[in-house]
Structure 1
Amino acid sequence: MLYEREQTLGVDEFRQVLAHSGLGATRPVDDEPRLKAMLSGSNLIVTARLDRPGAPLVGVARCITDFSWNCYLSELAVSASAQKLGIGKGLLDEVRRQLGPSVSLILASVPDAVGFYERAGMTRLPDAFWYRREY
């Protein structure tokens, strides 16, 4: 598997991996301008591709960070056909490598993925707050 920082990830590949991962049910996959804004507003995008030239995207981690204190992992998506192969953990590891040891990694999990994040060694936080988006 080839993990790399890919800041110019195209909206079509991003949409496809979201849809194929199951996150398409909770992401605006039919709203191309919003997907473009999500990508352009991210300053750390790590991708997973099969280890060959021109290989299709099978996973993505999309983050917003100051590279100093905190990083918010907005999406960790792996295509269903590539799940259970360690790609999600590999994406987490590469994000952490890119950030270095002085940056905290924070995320909000969909209910079905809570066990994955616990097995990956992440700690649940008891106190989190948010204003839910209106649309």
Structure 2
Amino acid sequence: MFSYEYHLSNLHAGEYRDLLVASTLGERRPVDDLERINTMCRNADIIYTARHNGKLVGAARSVSDFSYCTYLSDLAVDAAYQHQGIGKKLIAETKRLYPQALLILLAAPAAEQYYPKIGMERHNHCFLLRDVNGLK
């Protein structure tokens, strides 16, 4: 049985880094910089976790204005626990907290097909700026 727990800035950086690596999301996150991971955990507005016998097996980490939009920065589920509905449950709990806020996320390449399957709408109008010097 899984327990879903709501935490605000209560996720330990080392534990979260281990989950990122186990979920393959670590390939796109600064897992070698524990202080940065710690800052990511500390400054998130909403963190939902899934635990199995106390072990962190899933997490949804978001930033929000609590009214108009919530950006789901990371959805990570340990690869050994995937395909059990954990990610969907974490998304649902995040959305339920502020139902009037639009839930937005950028899909990892390996997860692009997952989100439409669970009922999320694809949106083609997203833009990224990685470096201010890229502005023309």
| TM-score greater than 0.5 by the shorter chain | yes
Q: Secondary structure at the match of 2:50?
A: strand
Gaps of 5+ in 1: none
Say if 1:129 and 1:79 are closer, same or farther in 2 by CA, change over 3 A: same
Task: Spell out structure 1 runs of 4+ moving beyond 3 A.
Answer: none
* Counterpart in the other structure of 1:81: 80
* Counterpart in the other structure of 2:97: 98
Q: Identity of counterpart residues, as a percentage?
A: 42
* 1:66-121: CA deviation from partner (whole Å, max 9, x where unpaired): 11110000000000110111101111111111122x11000111111011111111
- Aligned-residue offset at 1:133: 5.1
* Counterpart in the other structure of 2:63: 64
* 1:46-84: CA deviation from partner (whole Å, max 9, x where unpaired): 00012x5xx100000000001111000000000011011
Select the residue among 93, 110, 113 that pairs with 2:111. 113
* Counterpart in the other structure of 1:37: 39
- Matched length: 130
* Counterpart in the other structure of 2:18: 16
Say if 1:133 and 1:78 are closer, same or farther in 2 by CA, change over 3 A: farther
Structure 1 distance, partners of 2:118, 2:98, is 17
TM-score by length of 2: 0.91
Structure 1 distance, partners of 2:41, 2:113, is 27
Indicate the RMSD between aligned Cα atoms, in angstroms.
1.3
